[in-house]
């Protein structure tokens, strides 16, 4: 099993290109099931999760071809030959549930295994099912599978989510494009990935209004066509690499970065003493003079502070001047990186969904273990600023969400390498 070896090496300087968003691409790919015509995605990230979604779509009869070294995905679902998404594939990734809406909308029936994924708390699919029921679907959960039918097709309805859910909003939005009549999605998620999906679906011929707000209205159409669509920049990769010069010093330009994708995150960086400026090519990040200042952070749905940047922000605050409080409001059990940071000398106290971080002058390198995707990269960031050598084990989590992390960080001066397991 591979490990990442990191040695603290001072300030970082240079440029890092930002890839297309994993979470956006995983949502856009199932949209091919809505149409008989080709859907081509450009700026696609090259990640293991994308390979998993590719395998799932192919198992359903879709054709998926990777071109230009994985940056372009050409897909075609002129016929769906299999209506069952098997456990063996779906268990690897929670985003697999996103094939349910498109298949149900186009074919009128689907059987999808309940999904798996990384262990950062319960993320049940009940909100997805609530949306389909509001559009007239009949649902039966048995033997670990969702059996969904919509005789005569889905019908427009009012989908009123009790809490905000990105995945459920995406699934409902795709299903509604082919439903008969008008669907209104209330308390909808507002994330950039939702907006990106709506733009792609409109290119395919969907009639959608209100994406990026809490209420989305969809007028169903009889069929959707093909399209070519560029995947939006990955705001989580962007935020992660913005923290590299913040924690190490130096100045790094993030190519393709956009301030509107990380507004709340930038506010916290500013409060901590990090300067973010827009350039023609993206965003430039540099630490102001002196030590990082402590700040309090509470994760929230977009446009609030992203839960997927909480672990990385904790790594930064481990060396801040003062006491910071991080409150995790999205997922339970998402402070599993805290004990690993403590092995590096961090002072962290976790009480339920709150972590109190008292900054130390310097972290120390140590062998640590990645517990999930974002935790893995938080440990790498900590290692960049630590004294000595840090070995991050179980980095298969990392490959699910970060493309060529060693090469990107090495290019700006980091001492980092992948060590192959025996």
Contact at 8 Å (CB) between 335 and 307?
no
pLDDT at 400 > cutoff 90: no
Tens-digit pLDDT profile for residues 216-232: 999 999 999 999 999 99
Q: Is there a single domain that holds both residue 179 and residue 37?
A: yes
The reply to whether 380 sits in an annotated binding site is no
pLDDT at 422: 56
pLDDT confidence bin for 296, thresholds 50/70/90: very high
- Residues 19-40 as b/e (b if ≥16 CB within 10 A, e otherwise) read bbbbbbbbbbbbbbbbbebbbb
> Domain boundary at 230, 254, 278, which?
230
The reply to whether 84 sits in an annotated binding site is no
Contact at 8 Å (CB) between 231 and 25?
yes
Give the domain range for residue 71: 22-230
- The alpha carbon of residue 373 and the mean position of all alpha carbons in its chain are separated, in whole angstroms, by 10
Q: Report the pLDDT averaged over residues 40-57.
A: 95
3-state SS, one letter per residue, for 21-42 = CHHHHHHHHHHHHHECCCEEEE
pLDDT at 94 > cutoff 90: no
Report the C-alpha gap between 377 and 299 in whole angstroms.
Answer: 18
Q: Is there a single domain that holds both residue 130 and residue 226?
A: yes
Residue 158 CB neighbours (<10 A): 11
The reply to whether 155 sits in an annotated binding site is no
Q: List active site positions.
A: 118
Q: Is there a single domain that holds both residue 201 and residue 239?
A: no
pLDDT at 120: 36
Contact at 8 Å (CB) between 385 and 248?
yes
pLDDT confidence bin for 116, thresholds 50/70/90: low
Q: Is there a single domain that holds both residue 362 and residue 377?
A: yes
Q: Is there a single domain that holds both residue 250 and residue 128?
A: no
Report the C-alpha gap between 202 and 390 in whole angstroms.
Answer: 47
The reply to whether 399 sits in an annotated binding site is no
Q: Is there a single domain that holds both residue 214 and residue 328?
A: no
Q: Report the pLDDT averaged over residues 301-320.
A: 96
**Which stretch of 143-147, 167-171, 358-362 has the lowest confidence by average pLDDT?**
143-147
Phi first, then psi, for residue 258 (nearest 5°) are: -135, 135
Q: For 94-176, where are the alpha helices, taking DSSP H only?
A: 100-107, 126-134, 166-176
**Which stretch of 90-99, 192-201, 268-277 has the lowest confidence by average pLDDT?**
90-99
Q: Is there a single domain that holds both residue 71 and residue 179?
A: yes
Q: What whole-number percentage of the chain has pLDDT above 90?
A: 86
pTM of the model: 0.90
Q: Is there a single domain that holds both residue 226 and residue 240?
A: no
pLDDT confidence bin for 125, thresholds 50/70/90: confident
Report the C-alpha gap between 239 and 258 in whole angstroms.
Answer: 10
Task: Please give the helix or strand (H or E) that residue 405 lies within, else none.
Answer: helix 405-410
The reply to whether 22 sits in an annotated binding site is yes
Write the CATH number for 334.
3.65.10.10
Tens-digit pLDDT profile for residues 315-357: 999 999 999 999 999 887 789 999 999 999 999 999 999 999 9
Report the C-alpha gap between 284 and 275 in whole angstroms.
Answer: 8
The reply to whether 94 sits in an annotated binding site is yes
pLDDT at 18: 97
> Domain boundary at 169, 201, 230, which?
230
Report the C-alpha gap between 43 and 358 in whole angstroms.
Answer: 40
> Domain boundary at 180, 199, 230, which?
230
The reply to whether 126 sits in an annotated binding site is yes
Contact at 8 Å (CB) between 151 and 139?
no
Q: Is there a single domain that holds both residue 300 and residue 191?
A: no
* Listed residue (180, 175, 267) closest to 216, CA to CA: 175
**Which stretch of 9-13, 231-235, 393-397 has the lowest confidence by average pLDDT?**
393-397
pLDDT at 373: 83
Tens-digit pLDDT profile for residues 3-25: 999 999 899 999 999 999 999 99
CB-based contacts of 89: which residues, under 8 Å, 6+ apart? 52, 55, 56, 59, 96
Q: Report the pLDDT averaged over residues 293-303.
A: 96
Domain count, the chain: 2
Q: Is there a single domain that holds both residue 284 and residue 225?
A: no
Q: Is there a single domain that holds both residue 221 and residue 244?
A: no
- To the nearest whole number, what is the mean pLDDT of the chain? 94
The reply to whether 393 sits in an annotated binding site is no
pLDDT at 118 > cutoff 70: no
Q: Report the pLDDT averaged over residues 247-259.
A: 96
pLDDT confidence bin for 170, thresholds 50/70/90: very high
pLDDT at 124: 66
Q: Is there a single domain that holds both residue 217 and residue 237?
A: no
The reply to whether 124 sits in an annotated binding site is yes
pLDDT at 310 > cutoff 50: yes
């Amino acid at each position: 099993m591979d490990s990442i070896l990191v040695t603290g090496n001072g300030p970082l300087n240079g440029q890092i290109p930002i890839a297309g968003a994993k979470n956006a691409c995983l949502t856009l790919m199932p949209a091919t099931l809505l149409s008989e015509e080709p859907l081509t995605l450009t700026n696609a990230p090259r990640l293991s999760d994308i390979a998993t979604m590719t395998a799932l779509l192919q198992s359903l009869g879709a054709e998926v071809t990777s071109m230009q070294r994985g940056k372009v995905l050409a897909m075609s679902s002129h016929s769906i030959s299999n209506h069952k998404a098997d456990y063996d594939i779906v268990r690897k990734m929670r985003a697999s549930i996103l094939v349910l809406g498109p298949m149900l909308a186009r074919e009128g029936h689907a059987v999808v295994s309940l999904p798996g994924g990384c262990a950062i708390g319960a993320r049940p699919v009940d909100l997805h099912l609530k949306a389909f029921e509001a559009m007239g679907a009949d649902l039966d959960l048995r033997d670990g599978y969702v059996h969904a039918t919509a005789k005569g097709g889905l019908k427009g309805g009012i989908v009123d989510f009790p809490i905000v859910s990105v995945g459920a909003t995406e699934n409902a939005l795709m299903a509604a494009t082919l439903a008969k009549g008008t669907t209104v999605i209330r308390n909808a998620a507002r994330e950039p990935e939702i907006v990106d999906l709506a733009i792609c679906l409109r290119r395919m011929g969907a009639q959608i209004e209100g994406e990026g707000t809490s209420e989305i209205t969809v007028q169903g159409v009889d069929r959707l066509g093909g399209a070519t669509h560029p995947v939006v920049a990955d705001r989580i990769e962007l935020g992660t690499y913005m923290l590299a010069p913040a924690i190490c010093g130096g100045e790094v330009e993030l190519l393709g970065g956009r301030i509107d994708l990380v507004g709340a995150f930038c506010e916290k960086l500013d409060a901590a003493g990090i300067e973010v400026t827009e350039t023609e090519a993206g965003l430039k990040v540099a630490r102001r003079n002196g030590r990082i200042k402590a700040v309090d952070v509470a994760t929230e749905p977009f446009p609030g502070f992203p839960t997927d940047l909480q672990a990385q922000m904790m790594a930064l605050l481990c060396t801040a001047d003062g006491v910071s409080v991080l409150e995790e409001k999205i997922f339970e059990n998402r402070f599993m990186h805290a004990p690993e940071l403590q092995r590096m000398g961090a002072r962290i106290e976790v009480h339920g969904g709150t972590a109190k971080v008292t900054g130390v002058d310097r972290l120390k390198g140590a062998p640590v273990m990645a517990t999930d995707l974002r935790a893995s990269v938080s440990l790498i960031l900590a290692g960049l600023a630590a004294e000595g050598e840090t070995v991050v084990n179980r980095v298969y989590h990392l490959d699910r969400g970060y493309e060529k992390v060693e090469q990107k960080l090495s290019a700006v001066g980091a001492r980092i390498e992948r060590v192959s397991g025996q």
